[in-house]
Structure 1
Amino acid sequence: MKAMLLLSLMLLGAAPPGAAPSSLPPEALGAPPLVDVSPTAWACTIDTLRAGKECVFEAEMPPAGAPSSDVEKANVKLLQDASRALCTEAVSNARDGQPDPKLVTVCERKYAAVVGRCGLEGGTSVVDSKGRFSPAARACYRALSTVLQDVQLMATVASTCCECAARSQCPGNGEACYADVSRQQAAPAALACMDERCHDACSMMLPSSASIPRPAPARGSQRTGSASL
């Protein structure tokens, strides 16, 4: 009985005669793997720069060649052309779609000061053909990212206040206002003016009213005279 049971199991497990061969040809096992060279989600690109995301400098660049002024100019121009869009978007996103042309101008000026150093001496392109930043552009990318993040902070905490300060002709308005307010370094006279004329717009970044130094009131001329009898 046991022998018949074992024989039945062996017959069930055996491959039927004339079974179809594998559909995978033998040479396919030795074929080289297919490589997707498109940028990954972690590649450093203009999009990650715009979003302020952490990224990987995964571009594959040819060995650096002799310095070329044409390559250097092309690197700077490529990034400079993106400045208006990046700065406008950085300010607008931080302000829920509200523009601040003056802060965009501040951003473009700061961006231009950095991008001028992104030519990489013309030894290699700043991005590859897939739009990925070159590993040699790491310092450039970080500097540009810092500019955009600083401007976003200014837009978030200082923009509304500085717009009011400019309208109210408070001292220290303009470009200096954005940096001073976002760092809480505004001068006493500016703080007093903002507290008096722009309290609602600046309340988030102002110290308590009681702690703000106030300029001493101007003393009026006192006229003394002797009464004639």
Structure 2
Amino acid sequence: MNKFFLLFFCMCLVGCSSSPTITTITKENKQEQTKPRDLQVVALGDSLTEGVGDEKGGYVTLIKQYLENRDDVNKVFVSNFGKRGLRSTQLADVMLNNESVIQQADLIFITIGGNDVMKVVRSHFLSLTYDLFVKEQQAFASRLDEQLQLLRHINKDAYIVLVGLYNPFSSVFPNISETDKIMHIWNEGSKEVISRYDRALFVPIADLFEGRDNVLCDDQFHPNALGYEQIAQRIYEYLQKRSEWIKGE
């Protein structure tokens, strides 16, 4: 009986002496995980990335502010290569011309495709059909895949965020009644392409602009400040649902 009591007492001592060590390690690990870090952000694409329609710089500027308000982020350094009128056929050149900057990126934002749709409109203005848009969407999806491959070759670790298209086109070509369906097909195609890549995310924004003139600037095509705020909030909302982009996993 005495031996049993002695053994039980010794086990209790061992257990008590080891607990503080375990607690200390856990706290140290937690502190290491929450240590603020700097982020290198690259923005690629068309006028939405450039911020046309908003004097303050559009969604990219707002995303920078959202990220810097996080406890786990110190400073955010942004390189914005957005260019008004850019089509998917021109995106590869932008990446190659800025390869050294893209190599250092932690986060990469892309808006592309709107000008590809407009090219169909301009090229076939008098003979627009639904089938023309479907055919061009398939070609666009193929180009997007090639460009994402190039982007991954330049930077294999960055988290890529592809922002979808919205539909401002009903006021541009009202004779095409299927504009919403056309944009849906383009967005679904882009979503499918980027789903093939790790550490990549598609963010839909079409619903943010449905039936809302108050989110477009005077040209009724580009977002205004409120429109860009809606885009930035949606992007950040999707990022918050994931952790691998900030942890580098």
Q: Under TM normalisation by the shorter chain, which class is it?
A: under 0.3
Q: Which has the higher strand share?
A: 2
TM-score, normalised by the number of residues in structure 1: 0.23
Structure possessing the higher radius of gyration over alpha carbons: 1
